[in-house]
Amino acid sequence: MRENRQQVFFVEFADAIRPVFKDTVVYLTGGFRTVGAMVHAVQRNTTQGIGLEHPVTAVPDLPMKTLNGSVHSAIQDAFHSNDMIKQILAKVVPSEILGEKLKFPNGRTAQNRFLKAAMTEKLSTYAPEDPKKHGLPTEHILNIYDKWGHGQFGMTLTANVLVDPTNLEAVGNAIIFKEGDSSERRALYTQWAQKMKQDGSLAIVQLSHAGRQTPSYVNPSPWSASDVQLKTPDNQYGKPIGLTLEQVKTEVIDRFVYAAKFSFECGFDGVELHGAHGYLLSQFTSLTTNKRTDRYGGSLENRNRLILEIYDEIRKEIPSEDFLIGLKTNSVEFQSEGTTLEDAKEMCRAYEKRGFDFVELSGGTAEKFLFNHERESTKKREAFFAEFAEQIRPVFKNTVVYLTGGFRTVGAMVDAVQRNTTQGIGLGRPVTAEPDLPKKILNGVVPSAVKDEFNQNEMGKTIMASCSQIEQMGRKSVETAGGNLMDQISDFTDGKLVAKYDEAVVEFMIELKKDLSEGRTPKSIVVFN
């Protein structure tokens, strides 16, 4: 309970003074943030009333939310807890600019600048021996997007939906593939689109092919641009097979096109091709993994050819001009032979010229995992890839640009838009803690995302925690949760809960290693209660 007591500035003095009062009611003000600390102070008879100052400037209806159980604490801002002067003098940044509509080259509009970024869910069916039952979205998935469907996003992306049933990012990926087509699959994807669109958001399927980043227990010999194996400390990935020219058409282009048309027919507003983070399309664009000598290798133009051909074939196959086609691309890979800033600018010129409706800028690969701040300057601006995006942004005249990774405060989001670093704001991990964060920001209820108590240098663990929160979101629909979008979502602003999660991760990793050593398919998510 020491943590609870440390929140309150004058608790030890109040403990000593409180016995003086018999009839006079006592309030204690200063430092209360969590419900646990408030309850603890009352139960100890340190105080009878709870005074709130800074927390209710960020969330004016905090007492109501606390009493109806929709929150467990005040939001935690990004200030150091001892930096009281900055807290008091902090400028409340108006969020109106974030509510502005974005118009795409094909004439479609997003209702605001917020993008729900794609995050792996690993909650679909896994039945590789039965194509009709393999990679089906589950009720869990539909419940998750029911929550985000009440979040007031301008555009909502699915998780990375795979286009090849044998080249998966993880067990439990949703998949769209011709061999598995069925009325059941189409009905589930149609429901998925409907959940995403509930409050006016555009519903976009992120289409992906893992290539050499397919775990060996899923496929020991996945496809790739070349036979360059992904080396990791746990030897999780097998040696890939380089695709022949014919296979590039049948196993990649045709599969992306089929999945895009399927998405269109199920009511989605568009697709985003996943060309970042070391997945197959970026395995073609990067010299690290592309050692080909044919028309898909060598020059930057050749390495970028596959993405452009997929775009062209989707446009030919889908008659509607309203269907959006976007791309997630790396602004930089941070590897000796990886995509450089100049490469990224040149590739983006080609995407603009071809007519992509939007591009989402990100960065890094599985080998150089860069969802953290490499430089102090990016830390101040929050966005991980802001400086790279700023240099790429002028390339785009018509294509709408989203920047994803690191945004936490309204001030940083507004600054990125005002600087013209980006037009749209992509949110990932913050919206697993608060599914309706855009709505709260646009309504002026909060000035930032909540700040968890994880070590921010342990990026892998924070991503695992977000996956656990996503699983928690899927346990109930909005209706069965009584309208509470935060139902069952772990509050990782609580340091003690984070410590418990750390223990759960250790147990999970032990079990994973045991499963792998004994030839079993391991679990993909830490299920945390």
Q: Give the model confidence (pLDDT) of 436-446 as tens digits.
A: 999 999 999 89
Looking at residue 366, its pLDDT comes to 47
Residue for token pair 């092919």:
209
- Per cent of the chain over pLDDT 90 is 71
Look at residue 7 in the predicted model and tell me its pLDDT. 47
Mean pLDDT calculated for residue range 307-318: 98
Least reliable range by pLDDT among 68-82, 149-163, 174-188, 195-209? 68-82
Q: Tokens in use for 313?
A: 């074939």
Q: Is 193 helix (H, G, I), strand (E, B) or coil?
A: helix
* Bigger pLDDT: 340 vs 82: 340
Check whether 155 has a pLDDT greater than 70: yes
Instruction: Tell me the CA end-to-end span of the chain in Å, nearest whole number.
Output: 21
DSSP helix/strand/coil, 119: coil
* Per-residue confidence (pLDDT) for residue 61, from 0 to 100: 84
What pLDDT shows up at residue 165?
A: 98
Q: For position 37, what pLDDT does the model report? A: 77
* Higher per-residue confidence, 81 vs 192: 192
Q: 101: left (phi > 0), else alpha (psi -120 to 50), else beta? A: beta
Amino acid at 490: S
pLDDT number for residue 381: 46
Confidence of residue 341 (pLDDT cuts 50, 70, 90): confident
Q: Compute the distance between CA of residue 447 and CA of residue 409 in angstroms, rounded to an integer.
A: 6
- As a whole number, the mean pLDDT across the chain is 88
Residue 364: pLDDT over 70: no
pLDDT the model gives residue 88: 34
Q: What pLDDT is stored for residue 40 in this prediction?
A: 74
pLDDT tens for 8-56 read 456 566 777 878 888 899 899 888 887 777 877 887 788 999 998 878 8
Global pTM value:
0.83
**pLDDT bucket at 66, cuts 50 / 70 / 90:** confident
Q: How confident is the model at residue 314 (pLDDT cuts 50, 70, 90)?
A: very high
What pLDDT shows up at residue 375?
42
pLDDT at residue 497, rounded to an integer: 97
By DSSP bridging, strand 114-116 and strand 109-110 are unpaired
Confidence band of 68 (pLDDT split at 50, 70, 90): confident
Residue 22 class from Cβ within 10 Å (0-12 exposed, 13-18 middle, 19+ buried)? Answer: exposed
More reliable by pLDDT, 138 or 365: 138
The 8-class DSSP code of residue 175 comes to B
Domains and CATH numbers, the chain: 96-450 (3.20.20.70)
Provide the H-helix boundaries in 59-180: 62-67, 84-89, 139-148
Above 60 in pLDDT, residue 175? yes
Q: How confident is the model at residue 252 (pLDDT cuts 50, 70, 90)?
A: very high
Q: What DSSP letter does each residue of 236-299 carry, written as one string?
A: -B---EEPPHHHIIIIIIHHHHHHHHHHHHTT-SEEEEEE-TTSHHHHHH-TTT----STTSSS
* pLDDT reading at 1 higher than 50: no
For residues 276 and 295, give the distance between their C-alpha atoms in angstroms, rounded to a whole number.
Answer: 21
In this structure, are strands 109-110 and 155-162 parallel, antiparallel, or unpaired?
Answer: unpaired
Q: Are 166 and 127 in contact (CB under 8 A)?
A: no
pLDDT above 70 for 151:
yes
> In the structure encoding, which two tokens stand for residue 413, read together?
């989001």
Burial annotation 26-64 (CB, 10 A radius, 16+ → b, else e): eebeebbbbbbbbebbeeeebbeebebebbeebbeebee
Q: How far apart are alpha carbons 304 and 308 in whole angstroms?
A: 7
Is pLDDT of 373 > 50?
A: no
